[in-house]
Amino acid sequence: MDILYERVAGLDVHKDTVVACVRIVVDGKMTRACRTFATTTEELKELRAWLEQYRCTHVAMEATGVYWMPVFRILDEGGFELIVANAAHIKNVPGRKTDMNDAMWIADLLACGLIKGSFVPGEEVQHLRALTRTRKQLVREQTRHVQRIEKTLAEANIRLSSVISDIMGASGRRMIEAMIGGVHQPNKLAALAGKQIKATPKQLYDALHGRLTDHHRFLLELHLAQWDNLDETIRRLDIEIDQRIARMEASAEGGRTPFRILLGLLTTVPGVSAVAAPSILSEIGADMSRFPTAGHLVAWTGLCPGQNESAGKRKSSRLRKGAPWLKTMLVQCAWAAKRKKDSYYRAQFFRLQSKRGPQKAICAVAASILTAIYHILKNGTEHHDLGADYFDRRPVAVTASRLVARLKKLGFTVQLQPIAQAP
């Protein structure tokens, strides 16, 4: 196999150690140098000097958890090209598994140009990504506490969630706090409901008529306090995210579109809220030149069907893992976009739902949203909805061929004859 790079290094990164292997080819003769370093800052600086001593031009490592990040940042100051590879793409042949063999294998693959680098955004975008991911984790934990509150109320035979859509809303909070305070009369609890509650007084009375004990009140107070603490933490995160975006704008180079303008453009997409826009932008960055086409971005995210064919037979083509943080956010945006009336995404969902089911349909809508986001970031334009009648406005020949194909599947032979135009 042809050697593309003569001086390369492969790194096997762990929590406490980094095993490095330098591979050098001189006059057709290959030599190796292997060494193990600790992951302290001083040792990583020594690793960088060691690689520069061998005049390495390319250095590759696996993306192992978060352990590769400090290694990448310190080595990025060196004079070589860094490549972070997906560990699943460079697995060695099983049977002789050691850290040194892994480093040598990575160096061999890199020398032949067989390692495809993963997308690594800039440090500022990485910081924003950490904030948005933390916010999402806290929102998930907050939702779990709401579910625990519902479970505690259900144990006391109080069906509050059956008559109020959001038990953590104003009316629900008043009722729960009153229960914690010792109020157990259903009529007094029902009187705390706001005017916007659609349930009748009789329905509220029946739902609030239970057997609430001191044990239930203690659990409700505990989970409510946890929910409030998380809510305060999320508000602090929102402030920090806004300040981070402001600092990114202040340090932006000339000619780059300001971050806030890009966020405003993303919110023109149906289903993309002011909370989802920073999360999406932190996952893919603002520079779309990294992805040759929108299809490459969709494939990197894991929203396109996989390819699995053998002996002429197509097997399961389920979605790949891709970028899980971005994928889940886009699916949430797709569910929101599906609820917007007279939109292309709503029409696309219901068109595919009858054929493929709701799960595949919503993933297709998420892929369409990501395709639109790619062109918005690349061209700096607002989103233009194709309209709910987009599929009805397609060329007549396309619609006719699709209908003929459906009739053939049903066992009919069809011959199309155009209607004569009136003189």
Residue 302, amino acid? G
User: Mean pLDDT lowest for which of 52-56, 121-125, 327-331?
Assistant: 121-125
DSSP3 helix / strand / coil % (the chain, rounded to 5) = 55, 10, 35
Q: Report pLDDT digits (tens) over 353-365.
A: 988 899 999 999 9
Which pairs count as long-range contacts for 398-406, CB under 8 Å and 24+ apart, including other chains? Answer: none
The residues, ordered by sequence, that sit 6+ positions from 38 with a Cβ below 8 Å of its Cβ are 16, 17, 18
Q: Report pLDDT digits (tens) over 252-309.
A: 554 467 788 889 999 999 999 999 999 999 999 888 888 899 999 998 898 887 666 6
Split at pLDDT 50, 70, 90, the class of 93 is low
Interstrand relation of 7-13 and 17-26 (parallel, antiparallel or unpaired): antiparallel
Split at pLDDT 50, 70, 90, the class of 383 is very high
Interstrand relation of 58-62 and 7-13 (parallel, antiparallel or unpaired): parallel
Residue written as tokens 């490592």? 61
pLDDT of residue 254: 45
The 8-class DSSP code of residue 220 comes to: H
Give CA–CA dist 129/63, Å, rounded.
16
Q: Report pLDDT digits (tens) over 25-77.
A: 988 889 999 999 999 999 999 999 999 999 999 999 988 888 999 999 999 98
Q: Nearest Cα to 150, choosing from 124, 172, 134?
A: 172
What is the average pLDDT across 377-402?
A: 84
pLDDT of residue 216: 94
Instruction: Give percent of the chain above pLDDT 70.
Output: 93
The residues, ordered by sequence, that sit 6+ positions from 214 with a Cβ below 8 Å of its Cβ are none
Q: Is the pLDDT of residue 378 over 80?
A: yes
Architecture of domain 7-111: 2-Layer Sandwich (3.30)
